[in-house]
Every structure is written in structure tokens, then in C-alpha cells.
Structure 1
Amino acid sequence: MNLRPALIAAALILATAAGSASARIRNVTDADAPRSLPDQGPVSVSWEDPANFTELRYSANSWEARRGNWVEELAEYLRESVEQKLPAGERLQVDITDIRRAGSYEPWRGVQFNDTRFIRDVYPPRMTLNIRRTTADGTVIAEGERKLSDPGFLMTANPIFSSDPLRYEKAMIDRWVWRELKPES
């Protein structure tokens, strides 16, 4: 009797079990997940507990909606976009208080589509931000709540050339940054 195939199979099973225990999927609601980006440059971005975001509270599949690192990815993108347009010497503090991603889960389609986000015009992306924009000496230029929404996101975004799952939210952020920081004429 040849035990070699059985030993190889057992070793593979043990290695897979050990690897899956340490390689757990990250969720945006994990207790050790960050709630702000590290301080660097003129733009600081923080966010509330994602468990309170509309995306999770009203999701038809909250398990799938909390998977990944999408809150931090959007915060990083927001910072990068603002840094490109923010005039020299100014600072911007952003607190993300709510996010609703484009699309939604539709459980009535059946179990085979439980993890599928359907992108339709009735599910536009939305974000709520509290901002504080200051000059180098601390004078406040602008502050308050900003409600971002893009009801025409399917007509303005170019999804054909992008496989980024956050492309609609990023396009919405770009449009807001352009409106918020456009030079006064």
C-alpha cells in the first residue's frame, strides 16, 4: 500500500486550514480597522464607524457590503484628489459621516446572485462629508456639511474602460472636488 498520496493530501489540507485561519477577509467594520488616514500633507481624512453608514444599515446583504477595505480606499482617493486641486498653503479636514455606494444587492433574484451588486440608476452613489478648509494662518475659508450625490452616474461615468468597483464613487468625488475647489473667477 502506497501512503505517499494520502500523506500529501493530508499535508495540503493542513496547510490550507492553517492559511485560511490567518488570512481572514478584512471587513470595514472590524474593530482594528482604521478610522482615519495617517496624517500627512495638507489634507486629513477621517470617518465615522462604517457600521452606521447607509451602505451597511440598509443593505440587502450587509455581510457582503461590509467586506473589503472600500472605506479606506475612498478616503485615500478623496485625499489624493483634493491634494491635486487644493491651493498651496491651504488645509482641508474631511470627516466622512455617511456613504451609500452605487448599486445594490437584490435578494429577490435568488441565491445565485446574493453576492452580486446590481448597478441601476435608482441606486446612485452618495456621500456625506463635514469639511473645514483653512488658510496657512488658520483662517476658515469654508466649513460645513457637504452632501454628495450623482443621480446621473450611469450617464457620466465610463464603466467600459474601468474594472474598479469604486469607479462611480470616485467619479462623484472628482466632480465634488472640482466644484468645491475651483478657482474663483
Structure 2
Amino acid sequence: MNPRLVVLALALALAASSATAAVRNVTDPNAPRALPEAGPVNVRWEDPSKFTELRYTSNRWEASRGNWVQELAEYMRDRAQRQLPPGQRLDVDILDIRRAGSFEPWHGPDLQYTRIIRDIYPPRMTLNVRLTDADGNVIAQGERRLSDSGFLVSDSSSLNSDPLRFEKRLIDRWISRELTATKPDA
């Protein structure tokens, strides 16, 4: 095989892999603002740059890194689909997110990219919810303000290294309350 073609092929492979390995940013205007519709649970969100997490952070660059909004939306859909009674539909608009912890730049440059988890920085979410039955009748709707001020006290998963574990637990508790309260036999 021609050595020039081998070098060209390697260069193209490297360029393609580095393009896909780029750090994702939740404020990217080309990032999705909703999960693809699939099943009875639909989750949407507006521009995350308007979320409290990004508006009131001391490290906007670090707070916007990753794909955490979509990850939380996927987690919410997956958990809700498991508990949603047959025939019901749940539409959720994520209005605001404030993740657990915060950046404390006064600790110096060594910790400027480290999210400090303290009880004064609880996870919070604001959702707009619409739950309907099989006939399209509204069972429940309105704004839901989720917060867990005791998130560190109730953290029994000290070995869990998921950076979204506190927000996921907040979602689990809300779904359990919301869907249990609206079950036909409840």
C-alpha cells in the first residue's frame, strides 16, 4: 500500500476521533433542547444558559461543560416510564436546574475547577408538568419546585461517584411522589 495513503488515512482517522471527542457544552446552540419523542414521557428544556446553575456560578466554563442537562432528562424519562401507569402520558418542561455543590474560587487555583459539595448548595429543579390519562384528560399539571436540603444527610451512597447522583435522587423522589399520588387506585 502507498505510504502516503496510509499517512493520509491515519490523519483523517485522528481528525475524526478528535472531533467527536471534543468537550460538550450544555449551552451549545446546536445542542438538542428536547429528547426525541419515544413512548409516553416527553422531556424538553429551554436554553440552559438561563438556568440558575449557569447564571449564578463562579466558574461558568466548568459549570457548562458536559451533557448533564440531557443526561438528567434521559434519566427522568427512563424513571418515569417505569412508574407511569399504562395509558398515561407525562410531559415535562425543565425550567431551571441548580446542581448540588458550587465552585469556590477563594480556595485558590488548584481547586477552581472543583465542585465543592456542602449542605448550603442543595440540588434544585423547577419543572412544568402535565400528566394526562389515556383519553387525554388532565390528571395533574403545573409547576413543580424540587429541592433536597438534606441531600448530604440522606446520602447513603458514599461510594457512588456519579456527578449527578444528587440530582438523580431528587428526580427519583419527585417521580415517586408524583406518580404514586396520581395512580387510579391511589
TM-score w.r.t. length of structure 2: 0.87
RMSD: 2.0
2:155 maps to which residue?
A: 157
2:121 maps to which residue?
A: 123
1:179 maps to which residue?
A: 177
What is the CA distance between 1:155 and its match in structure 2? 1.1
In structure 1, the residue corresponding to 2:72 is in which secondary structure? Answer: helix
In structure 2, the residue corresponding to 1:65 is in which secondary structure? Answer: helix
What is the CA distance between 1:24 and its match in structure 2? 2.1
Match of residue 44, structure 1, among 42, 45, 51: 42
1:131-160 deviation digits (Å, cap 9, x = unpaired) = 000011100000000000000000112231
2:56 alignment partner AA = Y
2:134 alignment partner AA = A
1:65-102 deviation digits (Å, cap 9, x = unpaired) = 00000000000000111111111100000000000000
In structure 2, the residue corresponding to 1:46 is in which secondary structure? Answer: strand
In structure 1, the residue corresponding to 2:39 is in which secondary structure? Answer: coil
Match of residue 79, structure 1, among 73, 77, 80: 77
In structure 1, the residue corresponding to 2:158 is in which secondary structure? Answer: helix
1:177 alignment partner AA = I
Q: How many residues end up aligned between the 2 structures? A: 173
1:12-66 deviation digits (Å, cap 9, x = unpaired) = xx89x94786232110000111100000000000001000000000011000000
1:43 alignment partner AA = V
Checking the alignment, whether the CA contact within 8 Å between 1:157 and 1:171 is kept in structure 2 is no
Please identify, of 154-163 and 40-49, the stretch whose mean Cα deviation from structure 2 is larger: 154-163
Unaligned runs of 5+ in 1: 1-13
Structure 2 Cα separation of the partners of residues 98 and 80 of structure 1: 20
1:152 alignment partner AA = G
In structure 2, the residue corresponding to 1:63 is in which secondary structure? Answer: helix
Q: Percent identity at matched positions?
A: 61
2:167 maps to which residue?
A: 169
In structure 2, the residue corresponding to 1:180 is in which secondary structure? Answer: helix
Structure 1 Cα separation of the partners of residues 152 and 25 of structure 2: 27
2:64 alignment partner AA = R
1:90 maps to which residue?
A: 88
